């Protein structure tokens, strides 16, 4: 069965500056090269879902500018439904500047633009789209108030919701109650629960805290170590696949998009879906850029026969 996935999220044009090492405060350094590519957490997640075979649609907003059309065209190339992307006359298309060092580590500065200008009313026109889907994903590069409205519609129609709380921020009132699965990294998880993630006991404590918030299903991604999962049926840890990372941009987004293409609505196959998502993100980190680095299902199958 092919999942029908809707992503509510951000659309950014990424400018990556390739540098030897991160600058110190007040230091001016030389960038060895510069690349531009389509990105944004929402776009990355949607492309990852689509390339893993999910029938994917997007709810978002761009500016009335060349970058906006660039982003729409980028999603169309992966057969993503863009009918629910609005054009904002006032704010420019979102953008990000990424500093990428020789070790593959990055620092990212994001301009929200049209992404942050989204209003909850944008969701009303997408109710039929949400109703017809299996999975709805959102993250925090767009306003939480918009996510809340979309997730309420999803729950009304029995659609499974996945929240990626990145960049880290406290959940607004009412959001936890409509989240089926939350997928933070260890830093974001600690920010939300105020419990540092450093061992099995602390991961279990994070899961308990999220359960008290009303979120029963959790995955914590822990970089090149792997990912922890917790559901009412059980918990565990799946190690990452060991590779040499060139660029960690979009690794987490690839994980979530690939996961959404495989996961059952009741999370009964969470360990298998998580393993597949780890395979996808392990390929992403071996390549440069955001969207260009995301693998297809065929590439994943060939890499891990």
The phi-psi region of residue 158 (left if phi > 0; otherwise alpha if psi is between -120 and 50; otherwise beta) is: left
End-to-end CA distance of the chain: 21
Q: Any known ligand binding at 14?
A: yes
Catalytic residue among 89, 125, 253, 266: 253
Cα-trace Rg, the chain: 18
Whether 249 has a binding-site annotation, put simply, is: yes
Would you say 253 is a known binding-site residue? Answer: yes
68 is in an annotated binding site: no
Q: Residue 117 annotated as binding? A: no
What's the CA gap between 282 and 261, in Å, rounded? 17
* Residue 229 near residue 219 (C-beta atoms within 8 A): yes
Whether 44 has a binding-site annotation, put simply, is: yes
Please enumerate in sequence order all residues whose Cβ is within 8 A of that of 117, keeping only pairs 6 or more positions apart, or say none: 61, 88, 90, 91
Residues in the chain: 305
The annotation status of 142 as a binding-site residue, yes or no, is no
* 180 is annotated as an active-site residue: no
Contact between 131 and 139 (Cβ < 8 Å) = no
- The response to whether 287 counts as a known ligand-binding position is yes
234 marked ligand binding residue: no
Cis peptide before 263 (omega within 30 of 0): no
Is 127 annotated to bind a ligand? Reply is no
- Tell whether 222 is in a known binding site: yes
Please check if 51 is assigned to a binding site.
Answer: no
Label residue 104 exposed, middle or buried (CB < 10 Å: 0-12, 13-18, 19+): middle
Query: Residue ranges for the binding site for K(+)?
Result: 247, 249, 284, 287, 289, 293
The residues assigned a catalytic role are: 253
Query: Residue ranges for the binding site?
Result: 12-14, 40-44, 141, 185, 221-226, 247, 249, 252-253, 284, 287, 289, 293
Query: Residue ranges for the binding site for substrate?
Result: 12-14, 40-44, 141, 253
Query: Residue ranges for the binding site for ATP?
Result: 185, 221-226, 252-253
């Amino acid at each position: 069965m092919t999942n029908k996935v809707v992503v509510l999220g951000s659309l950014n044009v990424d400018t990556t500056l390739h540098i030897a090492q991160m600058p110190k405060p007040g230091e001016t350094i030389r960038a060895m090269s510069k690349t531009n590519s389509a990105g944004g957490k929402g776009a990355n997640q949607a492309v990852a879902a689509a390339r893993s075979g999910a029938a994917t649609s997007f709810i978002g907003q761009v500016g009335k500018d060349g970058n906006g059309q660039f982003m729409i065209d980028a999603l169309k190339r992966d057969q993503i439904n863009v009918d629910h992307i609005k054009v904002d006359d006032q704010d420019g298309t979102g953008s990000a500047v990424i500093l990428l060092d020789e070790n593959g580590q990055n620092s990212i500065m994001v301009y929200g633009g049209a992404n942050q200008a989204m209003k909850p009313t944008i969701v009303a026109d997408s109710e039929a789209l949400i109703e017809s889907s299996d999975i709805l994903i959102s993250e925090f590069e767009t306003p939480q108030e918009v996510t809340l409205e979309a997730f309420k519609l999803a729950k009304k129609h029995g659609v499974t919701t996945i929240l990626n709380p990145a960049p880290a921020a406290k959940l607004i009132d009412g959001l936890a109650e409509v989240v089926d699965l939350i997928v933070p990294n260890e830093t974001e998880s600690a920010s939300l629960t105020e419990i540092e993630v450093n061992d099995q006991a602390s991961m279990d404590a994070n899961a308990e805290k999220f359960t008290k918030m009303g979120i029963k299903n959790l995955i914590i991604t822990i970089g090149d170590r792997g990912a922890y999962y917790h559901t009412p049926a059980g918990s565990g840890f799946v190690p990452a696949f060991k590779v040499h990372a060139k660029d960690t941009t979009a690794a987490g987004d690839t994980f979530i998009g690939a996961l959404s293409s495989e996961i059952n609505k009741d999370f009964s196959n969470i360990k298998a879906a998580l393993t597949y998502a780890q395979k996808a993100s392990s390929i992403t980190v071996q390549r440069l850029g955001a969207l260009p680095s995301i693998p297809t299902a065929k590439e994943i199958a060939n890499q891990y026969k």
